[in-house]
Chains A and B, each alone.
Chain A
Amino acid sequence: MKADVPKGTGSSLGEAAMAPVRLAMAAIDAPLRWVQRRLGIGGMATFFLLPNMLIFGVFVLLPFFINFAYSMTGGTALFLPDRSFVGGEQYARLFDCANYTDPNSCAEDTFWTAVGNTAWFVLLQVSLMILFSLITALILNRELMARSFWRAVFFFPVLLSPVVVGLIWKWILQRQGLLNFGLYGLGFDPYTWLNDRNWSFAATVGVSIWAHMGFYTLILLAGLQAIPKDLYEAAEMDGTRPARAFWRITLPLLMPNLLVVIVLVLIRAVQIFDEVYVLTGGGPGTSTLYITQYIYETGFATQLRNPGLAAAASILMGAVLVVLTLVQLGLGRKGEKKGARK
């Protein structure tokens, strides 16, 4: 196996982009050998983890815990020392419902509306996103004329900022937008797509897929291209049919990448915010109001803000996500191991 590895994969990014750093990397090898002698091989793991975890701890974990503390406080003051401890009051307020199946019976009716909307959005968006990016990746993995051009086409929207994505599609879908102009030319009456509950919901799903599909396609494509070709050749010689080869070879070997994609898509879907905020603003009514917008508006964007309530809602959202991810990782573990050891 070792002999097959090309030395440093000559032309790859590692060499080209990091060339200036290379010298430094070699120079610090000696002191690091000394560190390794002191810590042992296992201890080096800590060394490799440290920089990331340090930055992580200060800028991601710490705010996360402070956020938890926020959820136990009340008042409108923004900074923790100025806030009063209220215990579980904020959580109690979120769960204060006469009837849990009807958001309108809750004290925080908008929160539950947002939760319901988000659940539907996630269900639809995640399945469609994975379907579309898998199809696109399979197609881009074929022998195509100008393949890098086609890859760029599907990747292009990822380069745009979410705000720009929202704006572009708003201008296309609004009453005096490009879509109505096209339909008008075909003899249809202009329609305000974003004022229709169903179309508006469909638009948020569609636009978020449009904007992020390229990202996941690329990850899946990388996985597809890494599948050893001799496997297919062997299968071909055995007379295996293409569809069967897809299920028996492609899908299992794609599992590690597919798992990454599923987990990321799900997390991003639950957190959907910027492009929808610009596109529909949560409307019409509250039909595309998703959970992050609720949190953002409650805790930050209104003049009389309630950071405690927003923090409590975000902790609940985080908890749901952790459970979902653990379930997925548990389900995917088998496939991952299979893929990793091949």
Chain B
Amino acid sequence: MSRVAEFIFRRRGRSGWHWTDVFTWVWLIGGLFIMFGPAVWLVGSSFKSPAALAEFPPTIMPYVTQKATVEGYDKPLDLYEVTMPDGSKTVLAEVRRIGIVSQMVSPDKPTEIVKVKIAERTPVRTMSFATSNYSEPFTHFDFVRYLWNSVFVTVTATLITLIVNSMAAFALSKYEFRGRTFAMLLILATLMVPLSVIMVPLYSIVSALGLFNNLWGVILPTVATPTGVFILRQYMLTIPDELIDAARMDKASEWQIYWRIILPLTAPALAVLAIFSVVWRWNDFLWPLIVLSRKELYTLQVGLSIYSGELNVQWHFILAMTVVTMIPVVLVFIFLQRFITTGIAGTGLK
């Protein structure tokens, strides 16, 4: 294995670096920042208060103004660093602000009011995680229910997709029959029309079948993915026909050929499709939004959309819930990725 890799991008000598080695690491490190950076920032932002979210210049981590309890005042006061007339800097607490003049006290001498122009003070900031972005939605958000609906939709749709698509791909790649090209073209043709375009006709069908406000109304229209058939078929084309002929001579039924020979050999492609199906179905938004308008049927994606109003969007909740909905997908990926590795390595040896 390593010999081959070295052969493709051979290093000029053990100690030296070939340009492809440099390029590889530049690409990888650059990729790390560009691919992960935005996500890190997303997670950091999900802990910001609504005011901090709208702030310029933005910060990576959430900050708020530090507060201090000062004797003689009921509420904690905001702390500011103030440039005094003599140029020295000191930390004062703001009592109130009138126009552009701020009345401040020193936390040590609570009785002595100092008047400061607001241009001459900057808030003392401290890192603080607005965990209420997470905890509040959980209280008025039937999270467990939404999670269950999402899991049900995702798992069911993915299983049906894998079985149904692989059967069709098997037929389309390993049998000669009349209309094969036509069937393939039909499937390809429907790749051409995105959901956002056929929503109204699809809605009439789903509602005529009584699948409106029903999780199956979300699952069924998505399972016969043309993309899945396409990927699997292309992969199955690479499986030698001799294998099937040999099996037929051993009196294997067509079902056994599909189940015992084709499916295991297609495992890498199936794993890829499984991951994508999970990701697609988990992130499906537009269609569930149309079909599911009852809260007991909401999936997570539909659930978190309720924070988008007409005139105002409650970004702090949306961000936090986005992070929460991302966790299961990431877990599934980390788990399935092992299977891809072994699957690909397995076929790589053939």
Say whether A associates with B: yes
The A277-299 residues at the B interface (CB cut-off 8 A) are: 292, 295-296, 299
Q: How far is the CA of A42 from the CA of B36 in the complex (A)?
A: 50
The A interface is mostly helix, strand or loop, or mixed, namely helix
Interface presence of B68 (CB below 8 A): no
B305 closest partner in A (C-beta): A163
Q: Which of A32, A59, A162, A218: most chain B CB closer than 10 A? A: A59
Contact partner of A163 (CB less than 8 A), chosen from B31, B56, B285, is B285
Comparing A112-120, A193-201, A226-234, the segment that makes contact with chain B is A226-234
What does the 1/0 interface line of A212-231 toward B look like (CB < 8 Å)?
00010011011001101100
Interface presence of A250 (CB below 8 A): yes
A273 closest partner in B (C-beta): B196
The B interface is mostly helix, strand or loop, or mixed, namely helix
**Number of residue pairs across A and B with beta carbons under 8 Å?**
347
Interface presence of B51 (CB below 8 A): no
Comparing A12-20, A89-97, A101-109, A122-130, the segment that makes contact with chain B is A12-20
What does the 1/0 interface line of B1-41 toward A look like (CB < 8 Å)?
11111111110000000000001100110011011101101
Q: How far is the CA of A263 from the CA of B234 in the complex (A)?
A: 12
- Cross-chain contact A52 with B57 (CB below 8 angstroms): no
Interface presence of A186 (CB below 8 A): no
Interface presence of B93 (CB below 8 A): no
Residues in A neighbouring B189, C-beta threshold 8 A = 64, 318, 322
Residues in B neighbouring A233, C-beta threshold 8 A = 3-4, 7
Q: How far is the CA of A210 from the CA of B259 in the complex (A)?
A: 37
Q: How many residues of B contact A (CB 8 A)?
A: 129
Q: How far is the CA of A61 from the CA of B188 in the complex (A)?
A: 11
- Cross-chain contact B197 with A314 (CB below 8 angstroms): yes
Residues in A neighbouring B345, C-beta threshold 8 A = 225
Q: How far is the CA of A321 from the CA of B190 in the complex (A)?
A: 10
Residues in B neighbouring A161, C-beta threshold 8 A = 283, 285, 301
Binding site for A on B (CB under 8 A): 1-10, 23-24, 27-28, 31-32, 34-36, 38-39, 41-42, 45, 54-58, 60, 159, 162-165, 167-168, 170-172, 175-177, 180, 183, 186-194, 196-202, 204-206, 209, 220-221, 223-224, 226-227, 229-231, 234-235, 237-238, 240, 242-243, 246, 248, 253-256, 258-261, 263-272, 274, 276, 279, 283, 285-286, 301, 322, 326, 329-330, 333-334, 336-350
